[in-house]
Amino acid sequence: MASSDVKPKSISRAKKWSEEIENLYRFQQAGYRDETEYRQVKQVSMVDRWPETGYVKKLQRRDNTFYYYNKQRECDDKEVHKVKIYAY
């Protein structure tokens, strides 16, 4: 299977916050499922991350505008249940 054909096999919702959930939240806010889909669509090998925390720093949306994120946590506890976790 080619990397451009990667489709998720299942989906679940986040129950509690973690660093992985934080990054998924940022990708989904920008309109992507996760880092896999972002790399697929934008044809990039690396995603800009904050060196201190490892969180996503900047993402380009599909309409070519940019989202810039803070070093600190942005996904509040009340938003965690909205994050989708895809399994491949």
Among candidate residues 3, 27, 10, the one with its CA nearest the CA of residue 83: 27
Confidence of residue 3 (pLDDT cuts 50, 70, 90): low
Structural domain boundaries in the chain: 17-87
Angle between helices 35-42 and 19-29 (to 10 degrees): 40
pLDDT in tens, 4-47: 667 889 999 999 999 999 999 999 999 999 999 999 999 999 99
Q: Which helix (H) or strand (E) holds 57?
A: strand 56-60
- In degrees and rounded to multiples of 5, residue 12 shows phi and psi of -145, 170
Query: What integer pLDDT is reported at residue 11 of this predicted model?
Result: 96
pLDDT in tens, 56-71: 999 999 999 999 999 9
- In degrees and rounded to multiples of 5, residue 66 shows phi and psi of -110, 145
